[in-house]
Amino acid sequence: MADTPERALVRGETRANTPASIYLALLLFAFTIATPFIGEYSASHARHDGWGALQALLPWMLAGVAAAFIGVICTIVGARRSPRSGFTILAIVLASLAGLMFLSFLGLATR
């Protein structure tokens, strides 16, 4: 007969519970991935000169960068607890990719 989660907890075994900050981080990373597409759509429906398209695209790109930064912080906060679940590992991978993105943009800006 299989143990119930309550019996496992009585023996001292722990389950991998995903904290709320990891769910928030995954939601923010999904928004970060979607912002270039939303920005491109809004820029294509803006005025057809260069400044109108940039004016429509830039706020979405900045919102994506801000969401990625907050997602990295939420991942750091949520990943401190163990045991880690699959969602936590996914958030850690996405946070590391977002960190690489920040470092590459910083490297391009210093050239």
* Predicted pLDDT at 46: 76
- Measure the CA angle with vertex 89, ends 87 and 92; round to 5°: 110
pLDDT digits (tens, 9 = 90+) for 76-87: 888 887 677 788
pLDDT digits (tens, 9 = 90+) for 14-49: 666 778 888 898 899 889 888 888 888 888 887 777
Instruction: Give the helix ranges, DSSP H, for the chain.
Output: 5-10, 20-44, 50-78, 86-109
Mutual orientation of helices 50-78 and 20-44 as an angle, nearest 10°? Answer: 170
* Predicted pLDDT at 24: 92
d(CA 45, CA 67): 24
Domain layout of the chain by residue ranges: 19-109
Of the chain, the end-to-end C-alpha distance in Å amounts to 64
Predicted model pTM? 0.71
